[in-house]
Amino acid sequence: MKKVPFSSILLPKKLLTGLFVFCLFVLPIISFRFFDFISLCFDSKYGHYHFPKNREIPFFRLGEREMGKTGEWGIRKGSFKPEAKCNYLSLGDSQTFGSGIFWRDTFSEILNRETECQWTNAGIPGFTLENEFSLYETIKSNISFNRVYLFIYGNDIYETGDTPDYLHYVKKQTWYLQVLSFLFPEQTRLYLKSKYFQTIQKRMELELERVSKLEIKKQKSSNTTKEEFITLRTLYTLSPDYLSGSLDTKTYAKTNFNRWIRILRQLHNKVLADKKELVMVYIPLDVEYDPTRFQIYEEIGFVMNSNWIHSDSDFITDLKAISREKNIPLIDLREYMRYRSDLLQKEDIHLNETATRLIANILKQKLRIN
């Protein structure tokens, strides 16, 4: 009788063992991941935070305190025109809100004074596109508007990603959430992000309660004091990839950009379903228009790309493509801000009064054109 080689007997057993392991472990994981990916096609509840509701709280400009009132949705109250001929809603972060300047100098309040339209400023410092979408869903049935101005700041992609503060929050979560994160990475991330925003809500309220009791001393302005850019140096320590993570959407920031663009498409579809218009306004990072700041970031140690200031970043290139694809008007403020070094607050990334006046004038001009 012909002898069968021993190796030929073992081979089927190895195949069966491999098939068993694949079916028991690998196939379920692939199925979970596929379900996780498909589920992203449906609407998600992103969550947001807000200022304390129906309160008078302090806001600051160079150490000067300005009291402002908030309404039932936790956004700061602005001018109100009951007989306005047009009503616009502004979504955005601290640049839209007007951090570091008096409320009267925000571009929304300038436009309320100088146009026949009502401009509702729903910007809140620290907001991401997730938060803006969530806030829109909350207030859209209670505020009159027929057009949404989505102010997109240059760091939106970075903020949509895993920032150091968010990663610190994730590390404190229980083991079973870590397991779910492995099986359903995106859905678990959405859940954790919504919970994370709730922690920001608590921290915001505690911080406002603390600073409202402080004795504020007005800072003395000096034109001779050299700027140390402590905030930017701290940012480098925490996030040396801040600029690449914001602007290099084809490479370093690709994953976060894909998340961001998915949210933008969802917001756009909602706005259209609500029979309203969407307009995108791009507020560039300082390295996209200010040569002085570009050099400062380079000296600090950030990896820099000359295309950001002399040409187009990946991010604005993608925004232009989305604008054409979806027929969403895009107002690119770089065209008006490029090579200017007088548009920022001292040692800060936030726009100053010169910049908000410029933006107000541009928006008025666009209104006349339309």
pLDDT at residue number 214:
73
CATH 1.10.287.40 holds for 56-215+226-369: no
Query: pLDDT class for 250, splitting at 50, 70, 90?
Result: very high
3-state helix, strand, coil in the chain (%, to 5): 50, 10, 35
pLDDT per residue over 80-124, tens digit each? 888 888 999 999 999 999 999 999 999 999 999 999 999 999 999
Task: Output the pTM of the full model.
Answer: 0.87
357 falls in which pLDDT band (50, 70, 90)? very high
Q: Tokens 């200031």 belong to which residue?
A: 309
Sequence ranges of the domains in the chain = 56-215+226-369
Query: Cα–Cα distances in Å, from 280 out to 63, 118, 126, 333, 363?
Result: 33, 18, 18, 11, 12
* pLDDT confidence band for 32 (50 / 70 / 90): very low
Q: How many helices (H) and strands (E) does the chain have?
A: 17, 7
The DSSP secondary structure of 90-115, one letter per residue, reads EE-SHHHHTTTS-GGGSHHHHHHHHS
CA-to-CA distance for 196 and 68, rounded, in angstroms? Answer: 26
Alpha helices in 286-351 (DSSP H): 291-300, 307-310, 314-326, 334-337
Three-class SS of residue 278? strand
**Residue range 299-326: average pLDDT?**
96
Give the pLDDT mean for 303-324: 96
pLDDT in tens, 276-288: 999 999 999 999 9
